[in-house]
């Protein structure tokens, strides 16, 4: 495998990195990594120039959690990823309600466009996005990022193993 052949790997969070739960993951005790996710992120860190998480978190818009809670949860997630040899360069989250008509909530590509502003060297056509929802796939499609859909049956770990074999 050629290292750093692709520029950027975008990952959705819930259902890709961690298990979905009923409602919203509000603290780290409710955050459970999917099987193999930590190892996968570590392997993919060596392959991609950067890894960026893009996640809808309307639990904030619903006032079920504060932005501070999410930031703290993410700092704990990052610590665990780094302990396992992985690196996440940036996390973008949309805190808005699905009814707010913001430009960042997936399937809209606002978070992807913002990432390109922040990292102009990102090349969408040499990037991948892994998500578990149609909205992830639509957001990627609208800016020309190749995407893959994962699930409980075909996880990030399964995708990573196939991808790195190529």
Of 49 and 132, nearer to Mg ion (C-beta) is: 132
Q: What is the largest CA-CA distance in the chain?
A: 45
Backbone angles phi, psi at 56, to 5 degrees: -80, 130
Q: Out of 10, 15, 95, 163, which residue is the one contacting Mg ion (CB under 5 A)?
A: 15
Least Å distance, CB 1 to Mg ion, is: 27
- HSE (CB half, 13 Å, CA atoms) of 59? 19
Q: How far apart are CA 23 and CA 9, in angstroms?
A: 27
Q: 22 catalytic, yes or no?
A: no
String of contacts with Mg ion for each residue 89-128, x by CB under 5 A: ----------------------------------------
Closest listed residue to residue 122, CA positions, set 52, 41, 60, 73: 52
Residue 102 DSSP label: -
Q: Indicate which single residue of 14, 37, 93, 137 sits in contact with Mg ion (rule: CB under 5 A).
A: 14
According to the binding rule CB under 5 A, does residue 132 interact with Mg ion?
A: yes
- Is 69 part of the annotated catalytic residue set? no
**Is 69 near Mg ion (CB under 5 A)?**
no
Q: Does 12 bind Mg ion (CB under 5 A)?
A: yes
């Amino acid at each position: 495998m050629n290292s750093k052949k692709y520029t950027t790997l975008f990952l959705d969070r819930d259902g890709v990195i961690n298990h979905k739960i009923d409602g919203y993951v509000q603290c780290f005790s409710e955050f459970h990594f999917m099987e193999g996710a930590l190892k996968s992120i570590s392997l993919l860190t060596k392959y991609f120039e950067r890894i960026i998480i893009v996640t809808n978190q309307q639990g904030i818009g619903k006032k079920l959690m504060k932005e501070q809670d999410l930031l703290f949860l993410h700092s704990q997630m990052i610590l665990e990823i780094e302990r396992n040899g992985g690196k996440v360069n940036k996390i973008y989250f949309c805190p808005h309600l699905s009814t707010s008509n913001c430009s960042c909530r997936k399937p809209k590509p606002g978070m992807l466009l913002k990432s390109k502003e922040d990292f102009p060297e990102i090349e969408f056509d040499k990037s991948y996005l892994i998500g578990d929802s149609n909205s992830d796939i639509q957001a990627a499609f609208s800016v020309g990022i190749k995407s893959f859909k994962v699930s409980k049956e075909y996880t990030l770990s399964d995708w990573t193993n196939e991808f790195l074999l190529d």
